[in-house]
Amino acid sequence: MSRNDVILGVFAALLVVFSLVVALVIPRRNPGFPGRNLRFFLILSGLLIVGMLAAVEVAGESHDFAAHAEETGVTEGSPTATGEAPTGTGGETGETGQTGETSEQPQGDPAAGEEVFISVANPACGTCHTLAEAGTNQTLGPNLDEGLADKDAAFIHQSIVDPDAEITSGFADNLMPEDYGETLTEQQLNDLVAFLFEATHN
């Protein structure tokens, strides 16, 4: 039994006892009741009724919420109970691609990704970008050392296959060739993302 249950029980008991006493006990001993004490009787009755209503409003509502939360598995402090959006594992939320860092490591081989960066991609990534790890210093496209330092793997992948997408807007608009998603295999893309992530997050 919770504290709210006790509060509701006390107020209900007081109201019931008061009603029985003034309806059955007092009139037998004092047929003229309430008589001169009418004002006091009305005030006391009103206070008890208001108190009971307030107890039901406050304690009853909290009791219902707690019971509902217990039934649905939502506990106080959980993301759903506090109104926060639940997050996925590894930092995968709807905003990580825009805002940056994540602890999730991209799938792929960074060493193989370096080869993709230098010679497999056509045109080669180094012909447009600066990336210290690859020894390139071109300025036609964004400086990857600076531009990817706070970005996650999803952002890097999206900027390669669809640079005009909403999450990469403003990063490499109208500069990146848009056929890398077709000319590179999925494994090559994963390797390239892994290389870029490792090169810019160390």
195 or 61: which leads in pLDDT: 195
> In the predicted model, is pLDDT for residue 32 greater than 70?
yes
DSSP code string of 123-161: S-GGGT-EEGGGTEE--SS--HHHHSTT--HHHHHHHHH
The confidence band for 155, taking pLDDT boundaries of 50, 70 and 90, is confident
| H or E element in which residue 110 lies | helix 110-115
Question: What is the pLDDT, as a whole number, of residue 163?
Answer: 75
Write the CB contacts of 95 (distance below 8 Å, at least 6 apart in sequence).
none
What mean pLDDT is predicted for residues 169-197? 79
Give the pLDDT confidence of 66-105 residue by residue, as tens digits. 554 455 454 444 444 444 444 444 434 344 444 344 446 7
pLDDT of residue 174: 58
Average pLDDT over residues 148-167: 82
Q: Report which residue type is found at 100.
A: G
pLDDT at 85: 43
> Who wins on pLDDT, 60 or 32?
32
Distances (CA, A) of 190 to 26, 105, 109, 196: 87, 11, 7, 10
pLDDT band at 62 (very low <50, low <70, confident <90, very high): low
State the pLDDT confidence band at 142, using cuts at 50, 70 and 90.
Answer: confident
Better-predicted residue by pLDDT, 140 or 91: 140
Sequence letter at residue 18: F
For residue 184, the one-letter residue type is L
ω into 142 cis (within 30 of 0): no
Please tell me the predicted confidence (pLDDT) of residue 109. 92
- The residue among 136 and 33 whose pLDDT is bigger is 136
Three-class SS state of 179 = coil
Quote the pTM value.
Answer: 0.48
Place of tokens 């006091």: 40
Total number of residues shown for the chain? 202
User: Would you state the pLDDT for residue 197?
Assistant: 92
